[in-house]
Amino acid sequence: MKQISVYYKDDAVLMQDIERVRQLWEQCGHNVGVCKIFATHTDAPLLQHVSGILDEQLPDMLYYGCTCNGIIDAGEYVQQELMLRFTFYEDSTSRVEIMQFDNFETDSLTVAARIVSYCRDNPWIGSLELIASTLLHTNLSEFCRALEVLDESLPIFGGVACCHDIAKIESLSLSKGYAPCSHTLLAIAKGGPNLHVSTARVYGWTPMGREFIVTKCHDGILYELDHEPAFNIYRKYLDIEPDENLFVNVIEFPLYLKRRGQTIMLCSFDVNDDSSLNIKADIPEGTGIRLSYGDPVHLLSEAYDAARSIAPFTPQYIDLFSCGARRAFWGDDMVSKESRHFNTIATTTGFFGHGEIIRTGRTLLNYNELMVIAAFREGPAGEPIDPDKLQHFIDRRNYNLRLSHFISVASQELEDSVKQLRHMAITDGMTQLCNRKETQHRIEEAVNSCANGSHAKSFSLIMMDIDNFKSINDVYGHQAGDEVILKLSSIIREAAKEYDGSSAGRWGGEEFMLLLPDASFETSWKIAEKLRTEFSQAVFADGRRHTVSLGITEYKKGDTGTSVCQRVDKALYISKEAGKNRVCRL
């Protein structure tokens, strides 16, 4: 596998470079040849013109590419406007196929289904590269999740196109047979029995300070953190204002959170009049978020560690997908410090974009402020690269980093104590379900949510009471009564886990509540019957069995928390009067 990079100056120079490209291609056996095009401008006519030259002079050459915020060549940021990176595969079994989807912006999930079908029909595929351009309305998270049905061993990676001004959303992508355009997705399949791929990623950002809870977020806009306008996190704690310097200030302190087990960085370049943040992502309410900061020493240390981890793979070339925010953070004179490590291992090219995509295990996510590494090799691994040949890096943690670490640890200890106290305040000590006060609070919240039309449109409430509980205590003792309560609590807890957003609580003594947001009558009835059946089948000491009666009601327009609780209590009473061990709906 061989590579050569060509910078476009004018047609005459390009024609001379193409002759060198032909010669190298012939030396590689004229197998598959691919040209990847990087441009920092959105000059569609020029990109179309260069594509035409490739079609005419190298008709068998595949090509694809995109506009970007900056170009990386030989591990260095290069101040070039247009670069063509040619890759020639020396193994005749290596294959590359390029798909372009111009309907991606309007129907991303259909595109995902087509990609899944294509990959399953072509078992030779060993990796999938994705490049998206100008995403105004597409939920990239949903698209990525739809691809997770593909075999977990398939590496998936890529980026989001950009332009020279990272604050602008406009970008273009192109591929052979298509004109340069926006709102598209490129999917590049590479594979073959002897083509191997390894991926890695570099974060480098360090969380700091206390955790904030997302209390309102939808349609890609983060409205509230801890019930306050989201931008206040920057204004209050970092003295940042939404002025002409906003972009420069905010990129140094991205939002740090966990999503589906992975660390995510989010950065907003746009603040709305209500102090909400445009983050182009939906974060579930209740998610914890911290501010983070970029310490140069830590950023370089992670890049160095990633290069060392990829070195034993002995790649022949490396693709980098880095965030334009990282380039803005470092500045043009310094940004190459974190990418040049990789060129010590293999020829490294790439671009700075609006976002990055990488798969970890089965999970596929889109990121901000990350650097994604995709390393390729034909044939078996070569001689291991001596780690000492990598540009040496010594992690001399500076004073600010150590001070921030101290503050973070102290803040975490304080947070843990507060969380423990809050947990104790809302939890029933015996069953570890919500206590009555918290259960009542959540029912009130559910009623308000339905009344305001902000989230759930309805909810179901199940109330249950252990039958003949007093006689259990009287005949078998209070320890036996406690065992019965704990058993029912366990069954309720497991049922709550299976229904997203549900809340289970102990209402008092042997009474319990289960709140089910957006649950239909059929759903809540099935859950109630399952609870009744499982509890009645539980065997206690001496072979005893016990039963539970249940009442169900649903939210009705005009309800209050009190009226809902009174109605479900009445439904439970009817179950008791009808003979117990049954479910009644009211």
DSSP 338-358: GTHHHHTTSEEEEEEESEEEE
Instruction: Give 181's DSSP letter.
Output: B
pLDDT at 137 over 70: no
495: left (phi over 0), alpha (psi -120 to 50) or beta: alpha
Per the CB < 8 A criterion, the answer to whether 54 and 63 are in contact is yes
pLDDT for the residue 178: 95
Q: Is the pLDDT of residue 112 over 60?
A: yes
Residue 397 has pLDDT above 50, yes or no: no
Q: What tokens does 541 get?
A: 């000491």
pLDDT digits (tens, 9 = 90+) for 210-231: 899 999 998 788 999 999 999 9
Buried-state track 161-171, b at ≥16 Cβ within 10 A, e below 16: bbbbebeebeb
In this predicted structure, what is the pLDDT of residue 423?
85
pLDDT above 80 (res 394): no
Concatenated DSSP letters of 112-124: HHHHHHHHHH-TT
Give the tens place of pLDDT for each residue, 505-528: 999 899 999 999 988 888 999 999
Tell me how far CA of residue 502 lies from CA of 43, 131, 354, 435, in angstroms. 52, 38, 36, 15
pLDDT of residue 405: 62
Lookup result for tokens 């002025």: 243
Find all residues with CB under 8 Å of 142, minimum gap 6, and list them: 108, 109
Can you tell me which residue has the tokens 């953070």?
A: 329
| CA dist., res. 79 & res. 64, Å (int) | 21
> Mean pLDDT over residues 526-534, rounded?
94
What would the mean pLDDT of 188-192 be, rounded to a whole number?
97
Alpha-carbon dihedral 145, 231, 249, 395, rounded to 10 degrees: -60
| pLDDT tier for residue 456 given thresholds of 50, 70 and 90 | low
| Out of 181-185, 433-437, 455-459, least confident range | 455-459
Architecture of the domain made up of 428-585: 2-Layer Sandwich (3.30)
Helix H, strand E, coil C: the string for 41-75 is CCCHHHHHHHHHHHHHHCCCCEEEEEECCEEEECC
Q: Dump pLDDT digits (tens) for 332-375.
A: 999 999 999 899 999 999 999 989 999 999 999 988 889 999 99
Cα–Cα distance between 109 and 448 in angstroms, integer? 33
Report the SS3 class of residue 134.
Answer: coil
pLDDT at 399: 46
The residues pairing with 504 across neighbouring beta strands, listed in sequence order, are 514
Tokens of 311: 């070195």
pLDDT at position 551: 95
Q: Where are the alpha helices (DSSP H) in 76-191?
A: 108-121, 140-146
Please provide the average confidence, as pLDDT, over all residues in the chain: 90
Instruction: Give the span between the Cα atoms of 435 and 440, in whole angstroms.
Output: 9
For β-strands 76-78 and 70-73, DSSP reports them as: antiparallel
Q: What are 122's two structure tokens?
A: 């072509």
Q: What is the pTM of this model?
A: 0.70
Cβ contact 212:225 at 8 Å: yes
In which residue are the tokens 């509230």 written? 224
CA-CA distance, 184 to 103, in Å (whole number)? 7
What distance, in Å, lies between the first and last C-alpha atoms of the chain?
72
Query: 269: number of CA atoms within 13 Å, CB side?
Result: 14
Radius of gyration of the chain from Cα atoms?
A: 29
Residue spans per domain, the chain: 2-203+297-389, 205-294, 428-585
Q: What is the pLDDT of residues 60-105, one digit of tens each?
A: 999 999 999 999 999 999 999 999 999 999 999 999 999 999 988 8
pLDDT tens digits along 284-325: 888 999 999 888 888 888 999 999 999 999 999 999 999 998
Pairwise CA distance, residues 20 & 179, whole Å: 26
Percentage of residues in the chain having pLDDT higher than 90: 67
pLDDT at 401: 57
